[in-house]
A and B are shown apart, each in its own frame.
Chain A
Amino acid sequence: MFAFIISRLLQALPVMLTVALLSFAMFAYVGDPVAIMLGQDYTIAQRDQLIADLGLNQPFFVQFAKFVVNAAQGEFGLSYRLSRPVAQLIVERAPATLELALCAAILALAIGVPMGVYTGLYRNSWLSRFFLTFSLIGVSLPTFLIGILLILTFSVWLGWLPSFGRGDTVNLGWWSTGLLTWSGIKALILPSITLGLFQLTLIMRLVRAEMMEVLRTDYIKFARARGLTNRAVHFGHALKNTLVPVITITGLQLGAIIAFAIVTETVFQWPGMGLLFIQSVSVADIPVMSAYLLLIALMFVTINLIVDLLYYAVDPRLRIGRGKGAH
């Protein structure tokens, strides 16, 4: 088990280094950071001083090594746009994005899985048809349009829910949470639905397809032939076998949620990392972009590790395979 985690971490290392190289290359070669930081008026001496300060006159690998060491310590330099440390900006924004992503993911799983199981079991009921139609619309609606429609309906026409921002937040140490105030929770509703809807329909369709696939297998037929109750067959035998692909996709989708948070945050002016990123892209604020890229890569690697660990827990065949491999 421990060896397994270590080996997965070692596999993740090249991925992280590649992304770091990419984001360093971006940092070092795209645009002219010196010109951007100096502004309009500067002397040659000032310029040379800054180049030396930034270490831009050193060999590539020294610079890269420095970049990696700094990045590992959360040091990404100053944002061109806001002239503040990038790490500080990200730490400020992270809670907003993570709370939003978490709510959306919970929403997608808590509703998507039961809907998928239902539509997989009762393929021809009218409710299943309704769910399927709904899911197709969910897949075809772009996230930003869902947001706009929700704002139009619940904010502009009905005036029930706020259309932008996080509402009132409470600071728990450095973490600012919107979950503890009524206005914070109200502000979270529309963005979470917007962000979660696509994942919800995706998970539903996936669970349904897997369910249908599994229900056709011999071991389900045999479980029925053994006279097990429907409940045992559907939930004990069928659902458990659908879990492996569901876990994979959900893991991948967590990544997608983070990415689509960019869109949701733009629509709702949600003060998270996504909004920070999109504002940085439009003015080519490279330090923020490269830090964000690294952070996302780190999240993906972490999610992948968790997914692998879940596999390990669910599927005994993997346990044995890995066990043998280790001997």
Chain B
Amino acid sequence: MSATAPARPNAIRRALDSDLWYSFTRSPITVASAIVALICVGGAVLAPWIAPHNPFDLASLQLMDAFKPPAWEMDGDPNYLLGTDDQGRDVLSAIMYGARVSLLVGFCAVLLSVSIGITAGLAAGYMGGTVDAVLMRIADIKLTFPTILIALLIDGVVRAALPREVHDQIALYVVIFAIGISNWPSFARTVRGSTLVERNKEYVQAARVIGVSRARIMVSHVLPNVLGPVLVIATLNLGFAVLAEATLSFLGVGVPPTQPSLGTLIRIGNDFLFSGEWWITIFPGIALILLVLSVNLLGDWLRDALNPKLR
């Protein structure tokens, strides 16, 4: 009797034809967060071309310009809209370059989680039995340990095992690996659940009967049907990954200081909080909040829009 069709099978296709766009335009918060997210991503990606200064060009740094407050404050310099840090770097430019690193780490980590998660989920759901039991047990244990802890341990071990210079060189990959390896179970569980449902559907049975191989059934028949939920979790996970990276960098074990991310900027600025130079830490903080909040709002909306049951 209700107006909405049952969920799942063609969630993506059905939603794209009208419902998704409709619910998007009907939610001002979603539109606003899409715009904010676009600005953040745009600013980050295009930083080398549109940033007012290059914070990594040591030649252009003027120590005289250090600790300038934002342009609208009394001693502000219109050259530096959001002020400068202790080395005279433009905070706005540093934020744009920092967001670049944060997003890079976030995307790569999610990509890693998605690949591991989908593979493990498909294998567990489709093969069942021991494979299923072992994989889900690992996922359980993994879920119990918080991302931050795992990432810290991985970083600590790598740090202890390798000389400092080598560690700094590969630090970015270590962070991506540490965050990515921590988040796959949520994908694996969702994919496994959907796979179990799909596996017993008639079209999959039929495909089996006509002799299509298992791997092919999984990839070409089951996979498209689980992409909707995966997309939702991926979006929400991007927010978490960016936060995790920021937290690690804040703790000083994330990306190397030569490539500061938003978290690194906040950590550096934190030292000047008590001496009154609040802008060095607060503006990167606001940028981080806006980025994560808009991504999370989009993820939330996507989840509700693709899952009519919860509407």
Q: Which of these binds chain B: A66-74, A141-149, A311-319?
A: A141-149
Most buried by B among A139, A145, A293, A296: A145
Q: B146 and A152: CB pair below 8 A?
A: no
Instruction: Report B246-260 CB contacts with A as 1/0, cut-off 8 Å.
Output: 110011110000000
A266: interface (CB < 8 Å): yes
Most buried by B among A139, A277, A296: A139
B218: interface (CB < 8 Å): no
Q: B161 and A30: CB pair below 8 A?
A: yes
CB distance from B309 to the nearest CB of A (A): 9
B289: interface (CB < 8 Å): yes
Pick the residue among B146, B251, B285 that contacts A145 (CB under 8 A): B285
B261: interface (CB < 8 Å): no
Q: Known contacts A136-B293, A282-B252: does B161 contact A148 (CB below 8 Å)?
A: no
Q: When chains A and B are docked, how far (Å) is the Cα of A282 from the Cα of B253?
A: 7
Q: B146 and A15: CB pair below 8 A?
A: no
Please report the number of residue pairs spanning A and B whose Cβ atoms sit closer than 8 angstroms.
108
Residues of A within 8 A of B270 (CB): 148, 267
Q: A260 and B146: CB pair below 8 A?
A: yes
B141: interface (CB < 8 Å): yes
Q: Which of these binds chain B: A47-55, A98-106, A251-259?
A: A251-259
Q: B250 and A144: CB pair below 8 A?
A: yes
Residues of A within 8 A of B35 (CB): none
Q: A148 and B273: CB pair below 8 A?
A: yes
Question: Size range of the interface on A?
Answer: 35 or more
Q: Which of B278-311 contact A (CB under 8 A)?
A: 278, 281-282, 285, 288-289, 292-293, 296-297, 300, 310
Instruction: Report B121-165 CB contacts with A as 1/0, cut-off 8 Å.
Output: 000000000000000000001011110110011011101110000
Q: B282 and A152: CB pair below 8 A?
A: yes
Q: When chains A and B are docked, how far (Å) is the Cα of A176 from the Cα of B247?
A: 29
Q: B251 and A266: CB pair below 8 A?
A: yes
Instruction: Report A170-214 CB contacts with B as 1/0, cut-off 8 Å.
Output: 000000000000000000000000000000000000000000100
Number of interface residues of B (CB under 8 A): 40
Pick the residue among B152, B252, B292 that contacts A277 (CB under 8 A): B152
Residues of A within 8 A of B273 (CB): 148, 151-152, 156
CB distance from A113 to the nearest CB of B (A): 21
Most buried by A among B145, B161, B273, B310: B145
Q: Which of B230-270 contact A (CB under 8 A)?
A: 239, 243, 246-247, 250-253, 263, 266, 270
Residues of B within 8 A of A151 (CB): 273
Q: Which 4 A-B pairs have the closest CB atoms?
A: A284-B160, A259-B146, A281-B156, A140-B293
20 inter-chain pairs at a CB distance below 8 angstroms, sorted by A residue, are A30-B157, A31-B161, A136-B296, A136-B300, A140-B292, A143-B247, A144-B247, A145-B285, A148-B285, A152-B278, A156-B273, A255-B144, A255-B145, A259-B145, A260-B146, A266-B250, A281-B152, A281-B159, A284-B159, A300-B145
- A positions within 8 Å CB-CB of B: 15, 26, 30-31, 136-137, 139-145, 148-149, 151-152, 156, 163, 212, 252, 255-256, 258-260, 262-263, 266-267, 277-278, 280-282, 284, 286, 289, 293, 296, 300, 304
